[in-house]
Amino acid sequence: MKIKHLLYTLAIVCCAFTASAQSKVGTVNVNVLVSKLPEIADVQKGMQAYEKELQDDLKAKLEAYGKEVEAANKAFKDMTEDDKKKKQQEIYELEADIQKFRQNAVQLVQIKQDELMRPLYQKVSNAVAEVAKQEQYTQVFTLDGNELAYVNPQYDITLKVATKLGLNIETKK
């Protein structure tokens, strides 16, 4: 009888342990949270200022190009063929420079936006991690990209897999 009682107790303890070890998964919409942060206004102002700076640079390049073309058109009739070719080459280089500037401007705007938004996403990420730890979530997925926003480090098996592969990975503390 005592053995049977002991086995039942052991089974209850095992079941309780198994139940407590289960995953708790949540979701979060990071973009909604970031868009509601008060700092977003500063990001928007920063982006507007940067875009204006790029537009002013482009305008200056276009004005310089226009003046160069106008001066070349006036001087062409008095130029030698070699001088005309050199002047045309200069104008083509200015056109290429303007085209390259336009292409790079799109990338520069994206880089600037990423730079200004990074602290906001980091702030939300830190808050997600705090809430996940407090509420004992093991994983939190983002709704906007179905990526992991948080995972309990206890479930990270990277080091075990590295050992299995014979790799040595240093852990951050």
End-to-end CA distance of the chain: 51
Percent of the chain with pLDDT over 90: 38
Q: Tell whether 156 is covered by a domain.
A: yes
- Using CA atoms in the order 85, 91, 97, 103, what is the torsion angle rounded to 10 degrees? -110
* pLDDT tens-digit map of 118-145: 999 999 888 988 888 888 888 888 877 7
Number of domains in the chain: 1
The DSSP bridge partners found for residue 28 are: 142
Q: Tell whether 173 is covered by a domain.
A: no
CA distances from 150 to 15, 47, 90, 116, 159 (A): 27, 29, 55, 22, 18
Please indicate, yes or no, whether the overall pTM of this predicted structure exceeds 0.95: no
CA distances from 98 to 50, 57, 59 (A): 18, 10, 10
Q: Tell whether 140 is covered by a domain.
A: yes
Map tokens 């107790």 to a residue: 9
**What angle is formed at CA 35 by the lines to CA 128 and CA 102, rounded to 5 degrees?**
120
The rounded distance, in Å, linking the Cα atoms of 104 and 75 is: 33
Q: Tell whether 172 is covered by a domain.
A: no
Q: Tell whether 141 is covered by a domain.
A: yes
Question: Which residue range is the domain that position 10 belongs to?
Answer: 2-164
* pLDDT tens-digit map of 18-71: 445 578 888 888 888 888 989 999 999 999 999 999 999 999 999 999 998 998
